[in-house]
A and B are shown apart, each in its own frame.
Chain A
Amino acid sequence: MTAAIRTSGLTKRYGDVRAVDALDLTVERGELYGFLGPNGAGKTTTISVLTTLLTASGGKAVVDGLDIHKHPNEVRRRVGVVPQEYTADEDLTGLQNILLCADLYGIPRSDSKPHAMELLRLVELEDAADRKVSTYSGGMRRRLELASGLINYPKLLFLDEPTLGLDVQTRTAVWNYIRMLKEEYRMTLFLTTHYLEEADSLCDRIAIIDHGHIVRIGTPTELKASIGGDVIVVGVAESDPDISDDIRKLSLVKDVKKSDHEYRIKSEVGEESSIQIIDLLRSKGLQVTKISLTKPTLDEAYLEFTGHGIREEEASKMDAFKHRVTLMRARR
């Protein structure tokens, strides 16, 4: 059995910008694969290329055993897509929307009608099936998108930011549906997210992507372990002299990074090091404004590999508009 997704050197260029840069990844069947990265890292572009919405500028990708360049229509028939934005037509009912999707896949009505109701029941929308989507709440819309993405009996489902803008309860509900799809339906799921918590609790494997590159692939546990130690963050005044070198000389300290007003220090035993660091700073006559000690989490791994937090998106006007619409609808 071939892998669900296999890409080699997959690239998408816009002029000089490489939105996706020589991507090599393999997603095994039955896997819940997370694509984690800041906004603008190339997550949505990757999904768009793999689902044939965009044409790759270079490289190869095989999805469900099919080359996306040679058989784009067959790939479209086989995979399910739940896009980031809400795509349902607000003037139609939930059921009409799913049936419309089914028609676009060429599924005969004799099959799509019972299947659509089944999917609506699955996402607990059967009572709202005949209501216009404009009356749906954000969580209901998200669930409807999920049901629409399943109408063509896909074995591989792409989910782009499935919980963007949802409140905590709805997010948990969506997570449960995703887990159910994997466990009960043995589906392969490929999801993008910039919520670390989401990637950590859901995914079997995570690829961290930044600037179109994969910077690290591993299970959540592996990623956390690969940081190799506790992280101490010590706040100082911005005008203080840089004493990174002195800190580095302490016995348990493995690494020191200095930003404007804080040191990020990695240590084998955080509790001991933090006391030593405070002593060191005091002996130099420097004030400690704050201190925190963190056992490795995915957040730390993420910061470590991408070198920054969730970055502000440099979005086009169009993307910004879509983003606003998505958030607006999600919050309804």
Chain B
Amino acid sequence: MTDDLTRSTVTTQEQLAQDEGQKMRERAFRAAPKLNRSPLHGLWALTNRDLVKWYKNPIQLVISLVQPVVWLGLFGKAINLSLDVPGGYFSYLSAGMLAFIILFTAAFAGMSVVWDRRFGFMNKALSTPVGRGAIVVSKVLQSVVRSLIQAAVVLGIAVAFGMDTANFGIMTVAGSFAILFFMSFGLSSLFVMLALRSADWQTQMAIINLLNLPLLFASNALLPVESMPGWLQTVVRLNPVSYAVDGVRQMLLGATSAPGYSVLAPLWADFGVLVGFAALLSLLGIVLSWRLLSK
């Protein structure tokens, strides 16, 4: 190829192609650029990846909203229990539905870990220097962002159907979403953690069903604690979901006291429980990711 005859007939275009090749070679030999070595690098890239997949597929969002809306309509409007609760049962249930959508979205946070394992993306990510903790936190964060957006939509729907807005204000709405944020962070961490080793979506579905419904029904999301037997009240008090619902009701509905209704805990305690829950489970998730993501 490089004998004199061929060389003499090299056209300009070939010459250009050779220059191009030379340039590429030089680039390949030059040192890699200065890398971001922070333990959190790649966190936003990973989170964003899951979020892009989510908002590019609005069907998913719509389907996830069907259930809480049906519940609102069925129990809040059609059955409308004449319970003596602040703001009426519909408003009372609406606050519970915010927790419901957070819980059900968080429960599926682990599913994307399972899919990433199955389809190889997890191995690709693990072969890069991205922090193992960042992989876990990204899965938690994407679930938190999604669940809060969905909760905002559910809140809008509830208001449109007649939720009591007398106590709505910037502080009460922001405060409610803050408490939902901690609830979502804790629960998403829990479900991601349970999925770290799993590549089997049937098992993951079973885990979701096992935890989801008890967490919902053994809470004050649907019915007042007072209407429950004593042992169940104890379970409700151990369930972090209850404190989120309690806090949201205190803020959004001004539900501090009413005949036949009492708060589960003071507002500061609701926050305390959820911040503790979120901190504990996310730390546990990060620690486990160091051990469990590689074998």
Contact surface of A with B, Cβ cutoff 8 Å: 51-55, 73-74, 76-77, 81, 83, 85-89, 91-92, 100-101, 103-108, 111, 115, 118, 122, 148, 152-153, 184-186, 318, 321-322, 325
Q: Report how far A318 CA is from B197 CA in the complex, Å.
A: 12
**What are 21 sample pairs from A and B whose C-beta atoms fall under 8 A apart?**
A76-B129, A77-B129, A81-B124, A83-B127, A85-B123, A87-B123, A100-B45, A104-B46, A104-B128, A104-B130, A105-B128, A108-B34, A152-B32, A153-B28, A153-B31, A185-B25, A185-B28, A185-B29, A186-B29, A318-B200, A322-B120
Contacts of A55 in B (CB 8 A): 294-295
Q: A235: shortest Cβ distance to chain B, in Å?
A: 43
Q: Report how far A184 CA is from B123 CA in the complex, Å.
A: 29
Contacts of A76 in B (CB 8 A): 127-129
Q: Report how far A76 CA is from B127 CA in the complex, Å.
A: 6
Assess A53 versus B53: contact at CB under 8 Å? Given A104-B46, A153-B31.
no
Question: Do B35 and A107 touch across chains, with their CB atoms under 8 A apart?
Answer: yes
- For window 46-63 of B, CB contacts with A under 8 Å fall at 46, 49, 52-53, 56-57
Question: Do B126 and A100 touch across chains, with their CB atoms under 8 A apart?
Answer: no
Question: Do B35 and A77 touch across chains, with their CB atoms under 8 A apart?
Answer: yes
Contacts of A105 in B (CB 8 A): 35, 42, 128-130
Q: Report how far A100 CA is from B130 CA in the complex, Å.
A: 11
Contacts of B37 in A (CB 8 A): 106
Question: Do B28 and A148 touch across chains, with their CB atoms under 8 A apart?
Answer: no
Question: Do B120 and A106 touch across chains, with their CB atoms under 8 A apart?
Answer: no
Question: Do A52 and B24 touch across chains, with their CB atoms under 8 A apart?
Answer: no
- For window 107-133 of B, CB contacts with A under 8 Å fall at 118-121, 123-130
Q: A220: shortest Cβ distance to chain B, in Å?
A: 24
Q: B42: shortest Cβ distance to chain A, in Å?
A: 4
Number of residues on chain B facing chain A (CB within 8 A):
41
> Which 8 pairs from chain A and chain B are nearest by CB?
A103-B45, A106-B36, A87-B124, A85-B120, A87-B120, A153-B32, A104-B128, A106-B35
Q: B138: shortest Cβ distance to chain A, in Å?
A: 10
Q: Is B199 an interface residue (CB 8 A)?
A: yes
How many CB-defined contacts (below 8 Å) exist between A and B? Answer: 111
Q: A189: shortest Cβ distance to chain B, in Å?
A: 14
Q: A280: shortest Cβ distance to chain B, in Å?
A: 53
Contact surface of B with A, Cβ cutoff 8 Å: 21, 24-25, 27-38, 41-42, 44-46, 49, 52-53, 56-57, 118-121, 123-130, 199-200, 294-295
Return the contact of B33 from the options A100, A111, A321 (Cβ within 8 A): A111
Q: Report how far A107 CA is from B37 CA in the complex, Å.
A: 9
Question: Do A54 and B294 touch across chains, with their CB atoms under 8 A apart?
Answer: yes
Q: A326: shortest Cβ distance to chain B, in Å?
A: 8
Q: Report how far A43 CA is from B217 CA in the complex, Å.
A: 50
Question: Do A103 and B42 touch across chains, with their CB atoms under 8 A apart?
Answer: yes
Contacts of B295 in A (CB 8 A): 54-55
Return the contact of A321 from the options B34, B35, B118 (Cβ within 8 A): B118
Q: Report how far A170 CA is from B123 CA in the complex, Å.
A: 24
Question: Do A89 and B128 touch across chains, with their CB atoms under 8 A apart?
Answer: no
Contacts of A74 in B (CB 8 A): 129
Q: Look across to chain A and name the residue whose beta carbon is closest to the beta carbon of B44.
A: A103
Q: B196: shortest Cβ distance to chain A, in Å?
A: 15
Q: Look across to chain B and name the residue whose beta carbon is closest to the beta carbon of A83.
A: B123
Q: B17: shortest Cβ distance to chain A, in Å?
A: 12
Question: Do B49 and A51 touch across chains, with their CB atoms under 8 A apart?
Answer: no
Q: Report how far A148 CA is from B119 CA in the complex, Å.
A: 16
Q: Report how far A101 CA is from B57 CA in the complex, Å.
A: 23
Contacts of A111 in B (CB 8 A): 33
Return the contact of A51 from the options B32, B46, B127 (Cβ within 8 A): B127
Question: Do B35 and A53 touch across chains, with their CB atoms under 8 A apart?
Answer: no
Contacts of B29 in A (CB 8 A): 185-186
Q: Report how far A86 CA is from B125 CA in the complex, Å.
A: 13
Return the contact of A53 from the options B49, B126, B200 (Cβ within 8 A): B126
Contacts of A107 in B (CB 8 A): 32-33, 35-36
Q: Look across to chain B and name the residue whose beta carbon is closest to the beta carbon of A185.
A: B28
Contacts of A152 in B (CB 8 A): 32, 128
Q: A109: shortest Cβ distance to chain B, in Å?
A: 10
